[in-house]
Structure 1
């Protein structure tokens, strides 16, 4: 399996989180003279308690080398500015809005922009894309598509009650609210197209839960493509796993350019 050397321009800025604090947004774009044809902003994993925008920089470099404007954004973490998962989702919405502003300067409208991420970050991006903002003052840019790399939270109803209560405490929400964040419960006709990359031996999110979510999306008339990686475990898509990194980025770029590219 090859590992490509990406050619792109890199920059960074700070954007305001939902509480007014500053968070990083890393920008990766095609080399000068090559206008981007689509865009995506990604959010890192880390169980909402760890990780940084740098984590998905290798993915963004590869996407930029394929003609896609890519961003990797931070969000407040639990115990480090975020009181609950709701704060994380609010920050993701603001990051998507800021990315849309950056993209507009480069000639990309909202209809050419996607969001996504890895693990918990993929879950946050999907929730933000599949639900309206909680208040009329929150950013509401939306996403024209979603790319989810080994997403968490596909079917939280599959957890037993004790595990659900434990997860509610961990993410700072009231008892009984966990199902509100289960992606399968958010499926409605008109959800944005979604591409999911998942390993069949994922130890964090069982492949069966992801398949159930995919099937629910399709039954509702939505496009949802699940690419399965045989025997791959959680986090299989990073560049230190040369078996899959380029395949994941090739499929992601093709998905984005096929559905969102400027003509």
Structure 2
């Protein structure tokens, strides 16, 4: 029997390792496209399924102010576009931190990358007339300059091969390298030489730009000005302005952990549509354009599995994240005051469109709400502190996203149970019913947020699914998730 159990455990461990590995995104191949000053620069290739006809290719350049950065920034996008049937590449280029290089060197490398791809079109199985240059921030800058800038070519390359792409997609790119934009101190004395706003010309490739209206690194005005200058020159350009976002918003969860995929999805979808119009991609996008972020906030009943089951129930139009913390309270001076936990900070970073708040089970514990020596700066009763902290929590999410939908959930029922770990469970039940749940209902009315009376919704089934009188088994959390999903949809 022991040997069988050991085998099962090893198999489960092996499967879990495979699942963790499956979450990683890695290129299919890396090839050298340039050697300069003893350094090799690589293209990180994400290959599409084999097709008879040569495909289009999109070449991404990462951001980092020409100082740092990594090709991994565009691995998530590369994987997606490879799945859409084109070759996707995330390119290395010289950066100051590693190569003691300048922005001018970065522009040269971007031109070298496009030239290499076109010159090796047959080996890469791509159409040399369907090359898209793309990138974010400084990477968007050099992508645009592969088309704009004459010169800055490497004399060792075959200059009869053009480095001008056939289309450009840029995410919050640097567009003005004077004091009106970004990077003037890095190009002193040559401020306009590689400044897109100062190098606009006719006959540019079609271009799509994404820019956040609240960008504090590259002013949104730069994007508007560049777009207007390009249109006046007769070029085909589209600017998609994104409300309420700062710099780097387009990164998804793979590269910017915890950011969520809302804006990754939006920009990837729009890029897909842009490329389909150019006949570089066929069919409709396979990524959902508009997804909603849902933050699940609470104690151990949130930290358990209901958010996972909620994600399963709601589907791909939502991204549900679990920010629950076992033992969490809104009262201070406890073992786990939620405002002091990383879970809370991460839930704000996620910038939720919907917040599900379920606190009170631990705040109702006599160990905390009746403890006169509990350390807190709040002057008043535990009940008053709970209400004040709850309202503070709601307002912090509203400040993060003015359009957020907030649902306050009453705690689930509590029953006396032989496996209960609370010796004063009767007192906790009393507090829960006498002041915690009534207070939450008051808050919902006063703050004009939606109340979900989970205590009432789960009362008839709680005993059936509870493990210890406080928590549920998996089937119980599935029932809870289904009830919440119906309220949200």
What band does the TM-score fall into relative to the shorter chain? 0.7 to 0.9
Higher relative contact order (Cα pairs below 8 Å, separated by 6+ residues): 1
Distance (whole Å) between structure 2 residues aligned to residue 192 and residue 94 of structure 1:
18
1:183 alignment counterpart:
196
**Residue 242 in structure 1 maps to residue 242 in structure 2:** no
Moved more, 104-113 or 192-201: 104-113
1:176-228 deviations in Å (ceiling 9; x for gaps): x1112221111111111110011111111111110110011011100111111
Q: What TM-score does the superposition give when structure 2 sets the normalisation length? A: 0.47
User: Residue 227 of structure 2: SS of its match in structure 1?
Assistant: helix
Map 1:1-263 → 2, pairs under 5 A:
10-19=28-37, 21-33=39-51, 37-135=55-153, 137=155, 138=157, 139=159, 140-152=162-174, 154-157=175-178, 159=180, 167-169=183-185, 171=186, 173-175=187-189, 177-240=190-253, 241-259=260-278, 261=280
User: Residue 107 of structure 2: SS of its match in structure 1?
Assistant: helix
User: Residue 23 of structure 1: SS of its match in structure 2?
Assistant: strand
Displacement of 1:7 in angstroms is 11
Distance (whole Å) between structure 1 residues aligned to residue 26 and residue 230 of structure 2:
35
1:70-101 deviations in Å (ceiling 9; x for gaps): 10011111142243222111111112222224
Conservation of the 8 A alpha-carbon contact between 2:56 and 2:131:
yes
Distance (whole Å) between structure 2 residues aligned to residue 12 and residue 136 of structure 1:
22
Q: Which has the larger radius of gyration?
A: 2
Distance (whole Å) between structure 1 residues aligned to residue 153 and residue 46 of structure 2:
31
Give me the CA root mean square deviation.
2.7
Conservation of the 8 A alpha-carbon contact between 1:41 and 1:72:
yes
Distance 1:17 1:186, change over 3 A: farther
Distance (whole Å) between structure 2 residues aligned to residue 116 and residue 147 of structure 1:
5
Q: What TM-score does the superposition give when structure 1 sets the normalisation length? A: 0.84
User: Residue 12 of structure 1: SS of its match in structure 2?
Assistant: strand
Gaps of 5+ in 2: 1-22, 254-259, 283-489
Gaps of 5+ in 1: none
Displacement of 1:132 in angstroms is 1.9
